[in-house]
Amino acid sequence: MTIPGYGRLAPLQLAMLRLAGYRVSLSWQDNSRPLTDTERLAEMAAGLRELRNAVPALATCGVSLAAWHRRLQKEHGASYRHTYGWATTRDKVEAAYADPHYQSLAAELAARFGVATSEEMTMNDADLVDHPLYADIAADPAADEPRLVLADALMQAGEPRGELITLQCELAQILGEQPALSGAWTRSRLHPLIPEKTETRARQITRRQNQLLKEHLEWTPVLEGDGEIALWRGFLASLTLRGLDSWSVERLEALLHQAPLISQLNLLASWGVGCNAGMEGQLLELCSRYIGSSLESLLIQGADDAAIAEVLAKVRFPALRWISFGAQRVPSAIIAALLENPSLSRLEALYAEAGLESAEDVARLLEAPNFTITDLVTPRTSLRRGAAEVLAGCPKLSALRILDVTRTGLGAAGLEALLTSKHAPQGLERLAAAWLQLKGDELSVLADATSLSKLEVLDLESNRFGPAGMDVLGASTKLTALRSLTLRNCRILDEGLEALLASPLFPRLQELNLRSNGLTVEGMLSLSRVSEENALLKLNVNNNKLGVADMTPVWEAPQLAACRIFVEAKKPKGKAKGKE
C-alpha cells in the first residue's frame, strides 16, 4: 500500500493505522539496529507534530485518515509518498497494541483525525464465525440463502455488514463468477455477455460496495506478507499470495483462521526470484487443510513446477472447479498430477494462457477419469500434424462450453475435424479461433457447423480473411445464438463491413470489434444507416484512421444511441452517448 505520510512506519504506527482500518504491509528498509520502544513512541509523537505543522487547516479536511492523505498528496506531492512491503512480525504488532502509551495516543489520534476506535468497529469475519447462523453458511458455502438469512439478521441489528452480504450475493448472480475470473482467468476475448440493464445494476452495486468497503476497512485483515485479500458474497473469499518468500506457514495459518470461507486462491511466486525449497508446496498443503472444502478456484503462476506437481497429486480440494496457470507454460507432470488426484471430481475449467506442453496433454485432460473439463483455454499449444483427429475421438469433447485454440496451428482442417466429429461439442458457447491463418472460403467450417448453434461469443482476430470471408460468415444460418463477434485485424475493409451489416448475423450482435480493418468514412456511413432493430451495445472501431468528421454520422445515428463506441477520434460535445 502507498501511504502519503512521514518517515518509516514503526510497529506502533502500524498499530495506529490498523486501528483506523487501513490494510498496511511493511518492508524493512533500514539495515541499522531496530528502534527501541521509547524511540518508536518519540517517532510517532514527532510525526503527529509534523502533520499538525504541515497542514494547519487539517481539521477542515474531513473526519478520516483518507482525508488528510488526500490533502498531503495535493499540497506536498511525492515528498509525502512512501511505499511499504512486508517485514515486521505479528508479535511486534501485538506488542505495540499492548504498549502502556497506546491508549492515550489512540485517543489523541481519534480526536484529532476522526479515527474510529476498536470499540466502534463493525463485525469482521472472525466475529461472524461465532454468529449462530454462521454454521449454515459453513455447511454449504456455495449457497446464497444461508448468507442472506444472516444478512437480514445483521441489518435488523444495525450491522452494515449485512448490506454488503446482500449486495455481493446479488452481484454474484449477475456476473456468475468471481470478478477475478473475468480477467486474469477467463481471457478477455471470451468474457461472458451481460445485458445492458443488468450491467447498469452491476455498476450501481459495485459503487455502493466500494463505498462500504472504504468506510469499513476493518473487514479485511492486515496481511503480514506480500499479498491481497478481498471480500466476495459478503465474506473474505479471495486471497492472493505474492513473493512467497514473504510468507511462512505460521503467518498463513493465522490468516486462514480468520477466513475459513476462502474460495479463490492466487499463488504468485516472484518472477526470477524463486522461493525457499518446497515453500509453494507447504503453502498449498496448508490451504488444503484449512480451506480445501470451500476453495473453488486456484491460480498458480511462477512457482516451481516439480514442487507444485508433487503437491497437486495429493492435496484435497473437493470443491475446486477452476484452475489456472496464468502466463506459465504447463508441463506434463502437472497434468499427470491432476489426473492422479481423486478429490478433483468437480474440476471443470483449465486455463493455461501459455499453453500445455503437448497435444497429448490436451487429450489426456479430455479423457480424464476423475473429472470432466467444460472450459478449456490452452492457446499456444501445438495442435498440428493430426492432433485434431486425436482430440476429435475423445468422447468428453462433447462437454466443452468454452474453447480457446488461439495460435495453436489448428487450421481450418483441424477446426472441421473437431466441429464435425461425432463427439462435437453441441453446447459450445464461446470459441476463440484467433491467429489460425483462416482464409475466406475456409470460414465455411464455422458458418456451416451445426454444432455451433448455441455459440454466443466468437473471436477470429488476425485471421485476415478479408471481405470474402465476411461473405461466407455473414451467410451462415447456423450461428443463430451469436451475440459477440471479434474481427480485429481481419482486413475486412468497407466491403466486408457492408456484407456483415446486410447479413442475418448483424441484427442479433450486441458486441462487435472491428479494430484495425482498414475502414474509412464509407464504412461509417454504411454503419450509420443500419436498421433500428439492431441490438448493438458495444462497437470498437479503433485503429482505422477515422477522424471526427468520419465518425459524426455514427454518433448522430439515433438507432445507435444506446451503443458505446470505442474510437481514437474525439467525439464532439453534445452528441450521442458512448465512451470514445
DSSP for 12-27, please give it. Answer: HHHHHHHHTT------
pLDDT at 521: 92
pLDDT at 246: 64
CB-based contacts of 106, cutoff 8 Å, min separation 6: 16, 19, 117
pLDDT at 146: 92
Task: Flag whether pLDDT at 153 surpasses 50.
Answer: yes
pLDDT at 320: 92
The Cα 236–Cα 219 span in angstroms is 8
CA distances from 189 to 85, 325, 395, 505, 513 (A): 34, 17, 27, 19, 10
Task: Flag whether pLDDT at 394 surpasses 90.
Answer: yes
Torsion, CA 123, CA 128, CA 130, CA 134, rounded to 10: 160
pLDDT band, residue 23 (cuts 50/70/90): very low
Among residues 434, 433, 365, 436, which one has the least CA distance to residue 400? 365
pLDDT at 240: 85
pLDDT in tens, 508-564: 999 999 999 999 999 999 999 998 889 998 999 999 988 878 898 999 999 998 898
For residue 566, the cross-strand partners are 540
Side-chain-side CA neighbours of 334 within 13 Å: the count stands at: 24
Looking at this protein, which amino acid is placed at residue 394? C
pLDDT at 569: 60
**Grid coordinates given for 50:** 509534523
pLDDT in tens, 451-494: 999 999 999 999 999 999 999 999 999 999 999 999 999 999 99
Task: Flag whether pLDDT at 34 surpasses 80.
Answer: no
Question: What backbone torsions phi and psi does residue 553 show, to the nearest 5 degrees?
Answer: -60, -35
Side-chain-side CA neighbours of 71 within 13 Å: the count stands at: 18
**Which pTM does this prediction carry?**
0.73
pLDDT in tens, 289-310: 889 888 988 998 877 788 889 8
Q: Say if CB 312 and CB 339 are below 8 A apart.
A: no
62-79: average pLDDT: 39
Q: What does pLDDT average to over the chain? A: 76
pLDDT in tens, 215-247: 777 787 766 666 778 888 988 888 888 766 667
The alpha-helical segments, DSSP class H, found in 33-89 are 37-54, 65-76
Query: β-strand 227-232 against 2-4: which pairing, if any?
Result: unpaired
The Cα 149–Cα 139 span in angstroms is 14
